[in-house]
Structure 1
Amino acid sequence: MLKNLMQQAAAKMLRNTLNQLAHHVEPSCFGDSLAERTRWNPLKSGGSNFRTHKLVSTQRDRMEFRITAGMLLFALAFFLVGVGAAAGTLLSADLYLPLGLFGLIFLAIGGGLLYFSAKPIVFDKRKGFFWKGWKSPDDVTDLHSIKCCARLGEIHALQLIAEQIKDDGSSYSSYELNLVLKDASRINVVDHGSKERIREDAAALAAFLGRPLWDAAELKMFDAAMLASKMEELRKIEAGNPELLDEKTRELLEKLALRLEKMA
């Protein structure tokens, strides 16, 4: 009796996994062969549940993502708490060490948030480059020393994907905008929680660059690598527990196998 119940539960979990995969969308929907070679998993882990950056046109041939007032206030809040704790050490000798450590931690967090969030994210047609960081291509002799940098001519498309983030029992969606280069590699641009705003900024940037936008903010996407990994797991279940696969489940599994074969 117990064995049958366990088998039924396992079969249900297997069917749910197969059904979820069956509703994923193939990258071929964008009508570009490079989209099928591109990864569709989040490039940058984590994110935020509010808008951290906005796209602005600083010159006719230059656009930048800049920190929003909300992100600035968020970072300053940590910084000010740290300043307050540090000031509190002057009021009590007994609390000097704990308040001092507390203050230093919050000062470091606030300072780090400001430093990394405010760093330039630039698309400059005159220079012919995209870069992300405090150093521009003009400041270095070796472009490889800039971690996030690419010639605008190397950009093939813009990719917008969603990621579900779980944090302390709650969950929210964060939206990631990436550049897809001609070799199918990707560079992250921004990642924040405002779907409407990041879509607007992505569309404006795509128009500025004259490149297509692959908008998958509301799509569940998979690529060949992810599907192959899932199929390997499912095939192991099939080999070890063939009794779990009824006719409907086998049919779903074979459909996914055909999709993988098509994408290979």
Structure 2
Amino acid sequence: MKPTQDNQSEPANKQTGEANSSPLSASKLTPETIKWTPMKKGGFNFRTHTLVRVSDLKMEFRPSITAKLVCGAFASLGFFIPVYHHAVEDIIDSQLGSLTESLLAVGLGCILIFGGFKFWSMIKGNRVFDKSSGRFINNGRDYRSVSLDEIVALQHLHENVKRSDSSLRSSHKRTSFVSNELNLVLRSSNRVHAIDHSNRRKLRDDIESLAEFLGVPVWNHP
């Protein structure tokens, strides 16, 4: 059976967050019978989450140190710019005027602070695999709760991400990287998104550790 195209998000029960059932039985599931299109387009060009073994019964993905530093850098710079401007405004001679300079400094600071908090809202929340409760819980912005018994495999796929930067009039810079995605394959053949970032080696190691913890196979991108 050939894979079919994904919707942007697969159907889920509103109360439990679990994927709706499908006629295909778990015994007939293979890598060829599930979808291989990314569940989340794009991604980040660094490791956003790291897998932590909390106990013998719990593993979870937590925001990485790099991700925390990026958020902190944006917020700190946003606070620093207005303060720095206030400290040196009497020293530097400018033709813009004191009020205009102050508005620009505060505006730029607010943009950076907003960017830091916006990014944090996208990655915050642990992705928890808890055998004591028997559930996977995504505590991030897209809350999901799924029974661990429903997970039959871990899907590892990748996507080529291309982004353009046309901020400079004289050039049009294009950047590209490979975003790696971890999805949970359910008995219904539906998938639940867990993690995506660009550090393939680290994510592959995390997936292998998680697969051993859950006792399920890893299905890699064909």
When the two structures are superposed, what TM-score results if normalisation uses the length of structure 1?
Answer: 0.63
Worse overlay, 70-79 or 39-48: 70-79
Which one has the bigger strand percentage?
2
Partners of 2:162 and 2:176 within 8 A in 1: yes
User: What per-residue deviation string (whole Å, max 9, x for no partner) do you get for residues 144-192 of structure 1?
Assistant: xx73221111112110001000012121101000001111111111101
Matched, 1:117 2:123: yes
Report the Cα distance in structure 1 between the residues aligned to 2:204 and 2:60, rounded to whole angstroms: 15
Report the Cα distance in structure 2 between the residues aligned to 1:120 and 1:86, rounded to whole angstroms: 33
User: What per-residue deviation string (whole Å, max 9, x for no partner) do you get for residues 85-144 of structure 1?
Assistant: 232453443322222221111101101222332311111000111111169xxxxxxxxx
Matched residue SS, 1:70: helix
Match of 2:168 in 1: none
Matched, 1:71 2:76: no
Match of 1:130 among 128, 136, 139: 136
Partners of 2:122 and 2:140 within 8 A in 1: no
Matched, 1:155 2:165: no
Match of 1:35 in 2: 31
Matched, 1:210 2:206: no
Report the Cα distance in structure 1 between the residues aligned to 2:137 and 2:58, rounded to whole angstroms: 12
The residue type paired with residue 199 of structure 2 is: S
Aligned length: 179
Partners of 1:34 and 1:184 within 8 A in 2: no
Match of 1:174 among 170, 175, 179: 179
Match of 2:105 among 90, 99, 102: 99
Match of 2:114 in 1: 108
Partners of 1:86 and 1:104 within 8 A in 2: no
Greater gyration radius: 1
Match of 2:188 in 1: 183
What is the percentage of aligned positions where both structures have the same residue? 34
Report the Cα distance in structure 2 between the residues aligned to 1:89 and 1:32, rounded to whole angstroms: 65
Change (3 A) 1:126 1:110: same
Q: How much does 1:34 deviate?
A: 4.4
Matched residue SS, 1:122: strand
When the two structures are superposed, what TM-score results if normalisation uses the length of structure 2?
Answer: 0.74
Partners of 1:89 and 1:100 within 8 A in 2: no
The residue type paired with residue 105 of structure 2 is: L
Report the Cα distance in structure 2 between the residues aligned to 1:132 and 1:89, rounded to whole angstroms: 41
